[in-house]
Amino acid sequence: MQRIAIEQHEHILTLTINRPDKKNALTRDMYLSLANAINYAGHDEDARVIIIKGTDGVFTAGNDMHDFIAATSQTDAEINETEQFMRALMECELPIIAQVEGLAIGIGATLLLHCDFVYCSRNTILKTPFINLGLVPEYASSYIMPRLMGHVKASEWLLLGESVTAESAKDMGMVNEVLETEALKAKVTQTAQKLADLPQTALRQSKRLMKSNTIAVKEHMYAELKIFIAAMQSEDAKQAFDAFVQRS
């Protein structure tokens, strides 16, 4: 079974997170597959739009914690595959649509900040629980969220680590539209087709202009990563990871 299912229909590339038995939790290999697919699409003349979604009514529960703990158990821990995915999504010139159902946890929520369109089902729950693991925000979320929704609302996400409904995320400017489950796929397909039919040079140029702060965002992302990697060796993080292992 392909954990990242890749399907291209005409000019629309769909990347499906396909690990339903683990709530589509992401491993290092899955991050690398996503990064490679996104980077390849950027040089493929037939690809015009990318859709990212999950299987079985779940977007993603975030990092596979067992895989994550194994990767971060050393003092020189690195998260290269995750970083490659972050960069690929952030730098992609094609429009990216997120089709979100059910859980969108951790990077499942922060990656949405780097998509161009985000459509959610009504049962979607978003959460950034980094603080609960003794960690700090990632993927430039501590840069983008306060600017998107204001400091106090961003604090609810990043300092309290509380769950947020799709409707609340929409009110904060993070989600385009919240739909019934049966209408979600149709909306995503319709939007993707509209984008695929538009003049492509102008579309890419427009996205590039809209993301003119990419350098600042990227610098902040790497500043976060440096602190994040150091935090993974903290006593708070080790205790949180140990508690997770004991529960699972």
Q: For 74, which DSSP code?
A: S
Indicate the pLDDT class of residue 77, thresholds 50, 70 and 90.
Answer: low
Structure tokens at 245: 């292992």
Tell me whether residue 204 is in a domain: no
Tell me whether residue 234 is in a domain: no
Instruction: Determine the average pLDDT of the residues in 166-179.
Output: 98
Indicate the pLDDT class of residue 224, thresholds 50, 70 and 90.
Answer: very high
Tell me whether residue 40 is in a domain: yes
Strand-strand pairing, 177-179 and 117-121: parallel
Number of domains in the chain: 1
Answer whether 0.75 is exceeded by the pTM.
Answer: yes
Determine the straight-line distance between the first and last CA of the chain, rounded to whole angstroms.
Answer: 24
Tell me whether residue 190 is in a domain: no
Structure tokens at 223: 């500043």
Instruction: Determine the average pLDDT of the residues in 14-18.
Output: 98
Q: What is the average pLDDT score of the chain?
A: 93
Answer yes or no: is pLDDT of 75 > 60: no
Between 246 and 5, residue with greater pLDDT: 5
CATH of the domain at 107: 3.90.226.10
Tell me whether residue 248 is in a domain: no
- The closest of 37, 68, 36, 59 to 112, measured between CA atoms, is 59
Q: Do 239 and 135 meet the contact criterion of CB atoms below 8 Å apart?
A: no
Tell me whether residue 46 is in a domain: yes
Residue-level pLDDT at 74: 54
- Other CB atoms within 10 Å distance of the CB of residue 8: 15
Instruction: Determine the average pLDDT of the residues in 174-188.
Output: 97
Indicate the pLDDT class of residue 149, thresholds 50, 70 and 90.
Answer: very high
Tell me whether residue 244 is in a domain: no
Beta bridge partners of 16: 5, 53
Tell me whether residue 210 is in a domain: no
Indicate the pLDDT class of residue 248, thresholds 50, 70 and 90.
Answer: low
